[in-house]
């Protein structure tokens, strides 16, 4: 049973570039969550998606950030025109139903130069 997979594990971007983070949920899981973790802080909820639908994006910054979970393929978190403040670890979690416990991936560490 493969766990939640995220790639890349490390991503380096220069200011102004786009960052694209991928998350493949566990088999049979149709609910995906994205969190951001700044150094020495807890995780902060960003967005909750089901297949082809954004259910709750209340934690997403209003500009430059978007997320999708298409019918086929992984969930994508996209950050356009990255700035240094976007440097963080981004974790994806999945669950079979939205009230069940969430299983986390290993994270993508984004560094913006």
Partner 1 sequence: DAKTTQPPSMDCAEGRAANLPCNHSTISGNEYVYWYRQIHSQGPQYIIHGLKNNETNEMASLIITEDRKSSTLILPHATLRDTAVYYCIVRVDDSGTYKYIFGTGTRLKVLA
Binding site for partner 1 (CB under 8 A): 4, 33, 35, 41-45, 48, 55-56, 58-59, 89, 91, 93, 98-99, 101-107
Whose Cβ is closer to partner 1: residue 47's or residue 79's? Answer: 47
- Residue 36 beta carbon to partner 1: minimum distance, rounded to whole angstroms: 11
- Residue 48 beta carbon to partner 1: minimum distance, rounded to whole angstroms: 6
- Residue 80 beta carbon to partner 1: minimum distance, rounded to whole angstroms: 24
Cα end-to-end distance, the chain, whole Å: 36
CA distance 36 to 17: 19
**Exposed / middle / buried, residue 37 (Cβ in 10 Å: 0-12, 13-18, 19+):** middle
């Amino acid at each position: 049973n493969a766990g939640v997979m995220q790639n890349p594990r490390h991503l380096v971007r220069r200011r102004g570039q786009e960052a694209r983070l991928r998350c493949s949920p566990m088999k049979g899981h149709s609910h995906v969550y994205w969190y951001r973790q700044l150094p020495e802080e807890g995780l902060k909820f960003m967005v909750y998606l089901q297949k082809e639908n954004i259910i709750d994006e209340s934690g997403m910054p209003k500009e430059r950030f978007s997320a999708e979970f298409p019918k086929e393929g992984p969930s994508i978190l996209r950050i356009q025109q990255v700035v240094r403040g976007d440097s963080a670890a981004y974790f994806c979690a999945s669950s079979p139903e939205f009230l069940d416990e969430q299983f986390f991936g290993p994270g993508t560490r984004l560094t913006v130069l």
